[in-house]
Homo-oligomer: A and B are copies of this chain.
């Protein structure tokens, strides 16, 4: 695929488009205009068109987008058709939550193996995924092609495991540890999951709501 440098904001919106298109498909919608799509996502129609124009011509002027064709194009841009392979390190609460409830395959990613340090887990399977000793991680990475490491280890283990990963060909880490894993401009692609960003956005909206309520109450007292 020919790629141009696309802004981070556009890339971040692509999964949201994908989810919306899946929703539309499920509701039986098969065509949508940029205006309608924008409205449902809180974007302007020109924003939507600009976003897609980063990747070439989608849809036809005046005819709108074909939902399933657009979905397939975005899935392709997101690499969902590349057959990426992943391993998960740290079968604790968050690791188990992902293995149990998060369908990696739905997003085109194969979860090939998991690793932990606890003897009770090593050698067992969880949700169809084999759990290995983390001591075997290096050998595993040398023997198998892995694109993405899902890092769900305790904070204290984050740096050591990251060194094993990056030292053995892993250049992409999905980081749940809240530890800054790499230096700026590192070759490794790190995607951090920041629960706090999400909670603080919610907190903002609650604060806004409480202020509105207080303003109404003050008005009624007058």
Contact = CB atoms under 8 A, between A and B. Distances in A.
Interface of A: 1, 3, 8-9, 11-12, 14-16, 18-19, 23, 42, 77-80, 82, 84, 92-94, 96-98, 100-102, 104, 106-109, 147-148, 155, 171-172, 174, 178, 180, 189, 191, 193-212
A200 to B, nearest CB: 4
B194 A15 contact: yes
Given A9-B9, A82-B206, A108-B203, 14 more contacts: A3-B211, A11-B205, A15-B194, A80-B203, A82-B207, A84-B207, A93-B97, A148-B202, A148-B203, A172-B209, A174-B198, A174-B199, A174-B202, A189-B206
Contacts of A14: 200-201, 204
